[in-house]
């Protein structure tokens, strides 16, 4: 029975209520965690607020040492974190190895970036003046994280927020709270009490009171568009700082000059990583009509070779989906598309699983169009819909035909096509021949309904700092433009 994390140690819910955490590959109960309520939120926010003056007043070098220490602890506990992530979230072990490496490196990155600068000196308007800006922390930050990358997407928020001098209350997904609690107990325990607190529970019972709490100054959230809109509506009356990374419907355009076998491998990876449960998963694919059969055949052959299984089993390429209700959404999108005329080329069914886990054989469909939900709404699962195009400009227009704008990918070696693509496609990240690869120094985030915030890079740090302008005149003499006017 796990406890929450409060003031540098275990903390339990006032109500005593608990929820189960299950392995999505077999339904096994892994542990139980407290089900926090509004009264618990008050306690956790108060702890973070109390810790804020001391933490924000510490020098950047001290905070940098603390963040480096977190990264070191993560590497010391990486085996336990990787296994726990695999059991509670489902993706293969190799993908969780990458998640922990990325997360530890994120703390190291922001440890150094956090002591680089706190503002800038500006050109003064007169010789007696000194103008400069200060970038200061907001205060208590609510970090609300999703289940698909529980540690990495927490690190993308926690590391810059702490480097900037904020204190945090973390609310992980109720589906994957165990890895966040382990991180707190084993990797964050050396932080001063109250700097980071981890609260477990559902969105309505714990998340909403956290968002609406008057002592929470900023909210960092990764998740669905609907939840992001709900958060925005709750935060609006208090004009809180919002840092929202929302849904996506990312396109991939395969150009005529791409090689079919290489394109098949790139596409399968970008569409099926973590069983397609990635906000930047490729969910719309546009292939040239002149070579459609080549690309389609290569993709179907490659997808059929991929192996489903428990993430801890050697040789597993694709694990289970996180939960039955998410699997049902994928099934509905595929079934509706085929009913409207799309052709199912492979997959698209639940395999015979002795464990009863939430497995789904990846579906590849052709003959889709933008009237179908599978090309408009976020599917968030292992489905690859293929749509043919004639001219490259048509492919760019199709890529832009979405309410989302998180990322977009192109497979091509033609520099003219590449330039037209990254200039013409409206998305926060453009990948050319290397889909879904991030860069610690490269800002990540979306446009339109994907949200306008940025994680990683200098931009990721500035999301957690507010800017103050200081106008200092050395002279105390009255100004000639003061009253009375001549």
For the stretch 294-322, pLDDT in tens is 999 999 999 999 999 999 999 999 999 99
Q: Which residue's entry shows tokens 């699997």?
A: 327
Is 143 annotated as catalytic? Answer: no
Which residues share a beta bridge with 236?
none
pLDDT in tens, 200-249: 999 999 999 999 999 999 999 999 999 999 999 999 999 999 999 999 99
Is the same domain home to 416 and 290?
Answer: yes
Q: What whole-number percentage of the chain has pLDDT above 70?
A: 100
> Is there a domain that residue 441 lies in?
no
Residues with Cβ within 8 Å of 210's Cβ and at least 6 positions away in sequence, in order, are 41, 44, 45, 142, 144, 169, 171, 199, 216
Confidence of residue 180 (pLDDT cuts 50, 70, 90): very high
* Main-chain phi, psi angles of 176, to 5 degrees: -140, 55
> Is there a domain that residue 332 lies in?
yes
Identified catalytic residue from 89, 99, 205, 245: 245
Identified catalytic residue from 174, 279, 283, 388: 279
Burial class of residue 87 (count of CB atoms within 10 Å of its CB; 0-12, 13-18, 19+): buried
Which CATH number does the domain housing residue 426 bear?
3.40.309.10
pLDDT in tens, 7-25: 999 999 988 999 999 999 9
> Is there a domain that residue 112 lies in?
yes
Is the same domain home to 254 and 240?
Answer: no
Which CATH number does the domain housing residue 119 bear?
3.40.605.10
pLDDT in tens, 434-477: 999 999 999 999 999 999 999 999 999 999 999 999 999 999 99
Is the same domain home to 275 and 394?
Answer: yes
Residues with Cβ within 8 Å of 270's Cβ and at least 6 positions away in sequence, in order, are 252, 280, 281, 282, 409, 431, 435, 436
Mean pLDDT of the chain: 97
Domain residue limits at 370: 250-432
Is 275 annotated as catalytic? Answer: no
Judge whether residue 356 has pLDDT over 90: no
Is the same domain home to 237 and 274?
Answer: no
> Is there a domain that residue 273 lies in?
yes
pLDDT at residue number 355: 74
């Amino acid at each position: 029975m796990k406890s929450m994390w409060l003031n540098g140690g275990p903390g339990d819910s006032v109500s005593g209520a608990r929820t189960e955490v299950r392995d999505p590959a077999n339904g096994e109960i892994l542990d139980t965690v407290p089900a926090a309520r509004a009264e618990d939120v008050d306690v956790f926010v108060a702890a973070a607020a109390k810790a804020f003056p001391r933490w924000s007043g510490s020098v950047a070098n001290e905070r940098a040492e603390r963040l480096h220490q977190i990264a070191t602890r993560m590497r010391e506990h990486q085996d336990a974190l990787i296994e726990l992530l695999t059991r509670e979230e489902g993706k293969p072990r190799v993908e969780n190895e990458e998640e922990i490496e990325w997360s530890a490196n994120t703390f190291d990155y922001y440890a150094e970036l956090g002591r680089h600068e706190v503002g800038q000196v500006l050109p003064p308007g007169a010789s007696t003046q000194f103008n400069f800006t200060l970038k200061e922390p907001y205060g208590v930050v609510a970090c609300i994280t999703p289940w698909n990358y529980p540690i990495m997407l927490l690190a993308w928020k926690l590391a810059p927020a702490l480097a900037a001098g904020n204190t945090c209350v973390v609310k992980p997904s109720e589906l994957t709270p165990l890895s966040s609690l382990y991180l707190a107990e084993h990797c964050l325990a050396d932080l001063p009490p109250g700097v980071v607190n981890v609260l477990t529970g559902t969105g309505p019972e714990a998340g909403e009171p956290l968002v609406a709490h008057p002592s929470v100054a900023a909210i960092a959230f990764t998740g669905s568009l609907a939840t992001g809109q709900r958060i925005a509506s709750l935060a609006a009356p208090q004009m809180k700082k919002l840092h929202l990374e929302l849904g996506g419907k990312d396109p991939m355009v395969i150009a005529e000059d791409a090689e079919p076998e290489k394109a098949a491998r790139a596409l399968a990876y970008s569409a099926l990583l973590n069983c397609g449960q990635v906000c930047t998963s490729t969910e719309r694919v546009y292939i040239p009509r002149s070579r459609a059969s080549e690309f389609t055949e290569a993709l179907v052959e490659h997808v059929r070779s991929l192996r489903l299984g428990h993430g801890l089993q050697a040789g597993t390429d694709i694990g289970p989906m996180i939960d039955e209700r998410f699997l049902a959404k994928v099934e509905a999108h595929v079934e509706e598309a085929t009913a409207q005329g799309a052709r199912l080329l492979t997959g698209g069914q639940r395999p015979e699983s002795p464990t009863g886990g939430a497995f789904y054989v990846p579906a590849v469909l052709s003959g889709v169009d933008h009237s179908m939900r599978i090309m408009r709404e976020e599917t968030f699962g292992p489905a690859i819909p293929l749509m043919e195009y004639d001219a490259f400009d048509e492919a760019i227009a199709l890529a832009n035909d979405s309410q989302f704008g998180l990322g977009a990918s192109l497979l091509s070696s033609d520099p003219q096509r590449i330039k037209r693509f990254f200039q013409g496609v409206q998305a926060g990240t453009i990948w050319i021949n290397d889909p879904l690869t991030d860069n610690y120094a490269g800002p990540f985030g979306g446009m339109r309904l994907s949200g306008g915030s940025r994680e990683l890079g200098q931009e990721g740090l500035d999301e957690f700092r507010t800017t103050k302008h200081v106008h200092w005149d050395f002279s105390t003499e009255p100004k000639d433009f003061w009253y009375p006017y001549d």
